[in-house]
Homo-oligomer: A and B are copies of this chain.
């Protein structure tokens, strides 16, 4: 009956097609069609942020996967060459070293010739950009090719150079996001918006990390911790979405390429789940964290010092200035020679790739216990089933090789960071999981029966210590805590949640109180502008007020100033903006005038210069634009508040007004000075 009513209604209201008449329930069908239409409108809005984020994630995943694929082929070719070249030591040595030397020098030459920004990881520069500093051309899409090609060559050099891809991927991702953002704003006809761009930076950085590790959680958290000091939950959600898209696509591709059965984690482990560790072991985990913290301080100090040395040493800096590829080749030759497997490389497990290094270190058996009674052979070829054979040497045992590996990698990594090629420095730091492995193996040997608790004996798993060591050391070097989460996402197991977290906290406590982070250290050495943090404990930042540290020597232009004076001011100073005040006498702030516009306006009206003493007001009336001041500080604003404002709103400078009069200005230069003097705060006036 109701259907009939519906039919009649349909026929009277709108024209009903024959097909519609025939089908059952026309009203229901019409309702469904209406609903779908509504859904279409709701979901498919052009210019919607979500599409943009998804595109970013998928694109980065494709790039990451393609790069991995290409690198895999090149590395395989290298291995084939090394294997097939015969038994002559000279030929083998040459085949081992020439490959990485050629790749690294090409990487350096190619990328540096296109853009000087392509070297290093890119994270320090992004960090600087997020504090509001504009680095021209740093996000230009034309750097993209240089960075991709350079990074591929760097990574194809494999375990000889031993560098990662996180940093450059963050940079690549941000470049793509900036490019997509420009296309997006053009497409929907909106004016470009700076704060929106800044939002994009953090999200893009998260995508970069997530597509390298297939780890969305730690991707977003790591990028937030490294990049910014404040962030909004909204950015965090967007970051999650984009990072999940990226990570999913990245793993999906490897399933499609039949590398895996299904989507799993990158470095899958097989730790015992029932009783993964005993309660007393927590103590050793925290001790391991402390050791990692101390070693990381030493590493950070040496790294910064050596980087400074390279910059100041006449010979090296000359070499770097004139022929970067030569320096790169020399450094690569040293690194490759040391890792030559039949030579010193025998004690460095240098036949393993980076992934295999990690896989073997996270192994859930104790090598020390397994080699107590029998010694495994050193196979002529790498045994993929027993990667850990590489770590065993009959005379030095695994302890010797592990310790030697750590000591050598310590300075080799520092040397590698000075090579001007696109490269990430996170993964090589993560390999310091070896510290944890070493301590874990020692514990396993010291307590061969395991630690007895609750009547059950459990053998100690050195792999768990390796995991904690990796998270703690990388966390300490980068001053982040999310490396703990990264360790879980990478291995697909979270059974060591609390011990790893405690190790990371211990390591961070030591590293953060002694040394600037890896990225901050690079910023300091490269002399990039940055805004230091106010640590929570410095409560005195609430007591220091803007009056104490503001820049009082400001140049103001009064509206009633004669044009001669304006011209004199403009020519004698080189500020980008001038504070415009109502009159010379009142000094009441009206807004700011850009130097360029002022010069243009002055040039355009040279006729009105001489007679009648024209003043600035005439010039402004003539079309020179005034920018309004949207925010102003008072002399009584606290340093804490001012710092917060600068950090959140990514400001460059703010005027200070008292009773409306412009009395000073604060930029991050003044803030930096004020913060650095906080340790010995001046007595409040």
A636 touching B644, Cβ below 8 Å: no
A630 touching B640, Cβ below 8 Å: no
Specify how many copies of this chain sit in the oligomer. 2
What residues of chain B lie closer than 8 Å to A635, measured between beta carbons?
A: 628
Q: Is A364 an interface residue (CB 8 A)?
A: no
C-alpha spacing A582/B661, complex, angstroms? 13
Contact A279:B252 (CB < 8 A) given known A230-B232, A501-B216, A539-B190: yes
Distance to closest chain B CB from A381 (angstroms): 27
Distance to closest chain B CB from A58 (angstroms): 14
Chain B's closest residue to A185 (CB) is: B539
Q: Is A224 an interface residue (CB 8 A)?
A: yes
Distance to closest chain B CB from A295 (angstroms): 18
What residues of chain B lie closer than 8 Å to A232, measured between beta carbons?
A: 229-230
B481 touching A489, Cβ below 8 Å: no
Distance to closest chain B CB from A592 (angstroms): 11
B233 touching A225, Cβ below 8 Å: yes
B262 touching A279, Cβ below 8 Å: yes
C-alpha spacing A222/B140, complex, angstroms? 37
Q: Is A492 an interface residue (CB 8 A)?
A: yes
C-alpha spacing A253/B82, complex, angstroms? 57
C-alpha spacing A498/B266, complex, angstroms? 12
A634 touching B644, Cβ below 8 Å: no
What residues of chain B lie closer than 8 Å to A193, measured between beta carbons?
A: 539, 542
A244 touching B49, Cβ below 8 Å: no
B588 touching A261, Cβ below 8 Å: no
What residues of chain B lie closer than 8 Å to A190, measured between beta carbons?
A: 539
User: 8 Å CB contacts to B: which residues of A617-648?
Assistant: 628-638, 640-641, 644-645, 648
C-alpha spacing A196/B638, complex, angstroms? 14
Q: Is A537 an interface residue (CB 8 A)?
A: yes
Chain B's closest residue to A230 (CB) is: B232
Contact A453:B261 (CB < 8 A) given known A193-B542, A498-B248, A535-B234: yes
B248 touching A589, Cβ below 8 Å: no
Most B Cβ at <10 Å: residue of A232, A276, A508: A232
C-alpha spacing A264/B271, complex, angstroms? 14
Distance to closest chain B CB from A244 (angstroms): 5
Q: Is A425 an interface residue (CB 8 A)?
A: no
What residues of chain B lie closer than 8 Å to A48, measured between beta carbons?
A: 537
B495 touching A492, Cβ below 8 Å: yes
Q: Is A493 an interface residue (CB 8 A)?
A: yes
A649 touching B641, Cβ below 8 Å: yes
Q: Is A171 an interface residue (CB 8 A)?
A: no
C-alpha spacing A233/B282, complex, angstroms? 26
User: 8 Å CB contacts to B: which residues of A205-238?
Assistant: 216-217, 224-225, 228-238
Distance to closest chain B CB from A87 (angstroms): 40
Contact pick for A282, options B263, B630, B649, CB 8 Å: B263
Chain B's closest residue to A228 (CB) is: B233
Q: Is A197 an interface residue (CB 8 A)?
A: no
**A230-256 near B? 1/0 per residue, CB < 8 Å:** 111111111011001001100110010
Q: Is A135 an interface residue (CB 8 A)?
A: no
Q: Is A199 an interface residue (CB 8 A)?
A: yes
A582 touching B497, Cβ below 8 Å: no
Chain B's closest residue to A226 (CB) is: B233
A-B contact pairs, 5 of them (CB 8 A): A262-B275, A262-B276, A629-B634, A631-B631, A631-B645
Nearest first, the 7 A-B pairs at minimum CB distance are A660-B660, A628-B636, A630-B637, A494-B494, A261-B454, A648-B648, A230-B232
Residues of A within 8 A of B (CB): 42, 48-49, 190, 193, 195-196, 199, 216-217, 224-225, 228-238, 240-241, 244, 247-248, 251-252, 255, 258, 261-265, 270, 273-279, 282, 453-454, 456, 481, 484-485, 488-489, 492-495, 497-499, 501-502, 505, 508, 513, 533, 535-537, 539, 542, 582, 588-590, 628-638, 640-641, 644-645, 648-649, 657, 659-661
